[in-house]
Amino acid sequence: MSEAKSESKSVNLTKRAVYELRQRIIHGGLAGGTRLYEVALSEELQISRTPVREAMSRLAEEGLLERASGGGFQVRSFSYRDVTDAIELRGVLEGTAARLAAEQGADKTALAEIGAILDELDDCFAGEAGESLDFDRYSELNGQFHAKLAELCQSNVILRELERVKSLPFASPSAFVLGSQQTRRSLQSLVVAQAQHRALVQAIERREGVRAEAIAREHARIARANLEQTFITETQAPDSLPGIALITR
């Protein structure tokens, strides 16, 4: 137990390298477009080339790296348009999952669990004044909601692709909850978001597939609006958004 450092579990070197690299990519140590050199990295991480290579390979599967022409890897870089599209794509996939769940009829137990999460989300708004929202808790529960929702359609294929899109840090459902903590507008957008959560679940319960799909898409567009807001207000913000270092061009 004592060896569980914050960074490096001693499980195996590949996982350590994956973790290390992912941290650096998301938090800006390695900007979008940067090429990764095996030897340099292995010296820096004190790990031999083989597990480093393996780690890069896994991060490519994850979508954070891409294979460079002529071998090797580079940090994947995203244009503003790419980020927008990724959010739209998440909406499309969540919409599809919701529609399928509605069409097939969703499992009652799972729906009840989702309802419980929604109640807890409501509790986050407890303080009536504008300021007293528990952002961390909201973010956590929001993530759970979206995960459970995706499972409702019971489709491995859809779930898998959705996980893939969500693994892009800025396309995750909770990306902007933490990103824009300060503003009053962001609190209002959370109120709207929660209303959409309720409507979405209702649509699925009533087997209104088209409605469910439309709501899910619109729900994702809140993230898009928040993205625009983030880029307008604090142009050079450091950690206003996870993975902001990947966005270039």
Contact footprint for DNA (CB under 7 A): 12-14, 35-40, 47-51, 53-54, 69-73
* Binding residue for its own copies, selected from 25, 47, 93, 114, defined by CB under 8 A: 93
40 and 144 Cβ atoms separated by less than 8 Å: no
State how far the Cα of 55 lies from the Cα of 49, in Å rounded to an integer.
10
Cβ distance to DNA smaller for residue 75 or 149:
75
Question: Using the rule CB under 8 A, is 120 a contact of its own copies?
Answer: no
Closer residue to its own copies in complex, CB, 158/245: 158
Residues from 39 through 68 that contact its own copies (CB under 8 A): 53-54, 57-58, 60-61
Q: How far apart are CA 21 and CA 25, in angstroms?
A: 6
Q: Which of 174, 177, 164 is nearest to 64 (CA)?
A: 164
Residue 245 binds which one of its own copies, DNA, none, with CB within 5 to 8 A depending on kind?
none
Which amino acid would we find at residue 30? Answer: L
Select the span of 75-83, 139-147, 177-185, 240-248 touching its own copies (CB under 8 A). 75-83
Please report whether residue 108 would count as binding its own copies according to CB under 8 A.
no
Rounded Cα–Cα distance for residues 129 and 99 (Å): 36
Task: From the list DNA, its own copies, none, pick the one residue 235 interacts with, judged by a Cβ distance below 5 to 8 Å according to partner type.
Answer: none
**Residue with smaller CB distance to DNA, 58 or 207:** 58
118 binds, among its own copies, DNA, none (CB under 5 to 8 A by kind): none
Site for its own copies in 133-162 (CB under 8 A): 155-158, 161
Nearest approach, Cβ of residue 109 and DNA (Å)? 29
Cα distances (angstroms) measured from residue 129 to each of 45, 72, 94, 126, 218: 48, 53, 32, 9, 27
Decide which of DNA, its own copies, none touches 81; Cβ closer than 5 to 8 Å per partner kind.
Answer: its own copies
- E runs forming strands in the chain: 35-36, 65-67, 73-75
Using CA atoms of 51, 55, 58, 64 in order, give the dihedral in degrees to the nearest 10.
-160
208 Cβ contact list (under 8 Å, min separation 6): 102
- What is the binding site for its own copies (CB under 8 A)? 53-54, 57-58, 60-61, 79, 81-82, 85-86, 88-89, 92-93, 96, 100, 155-158, 161, 164-165
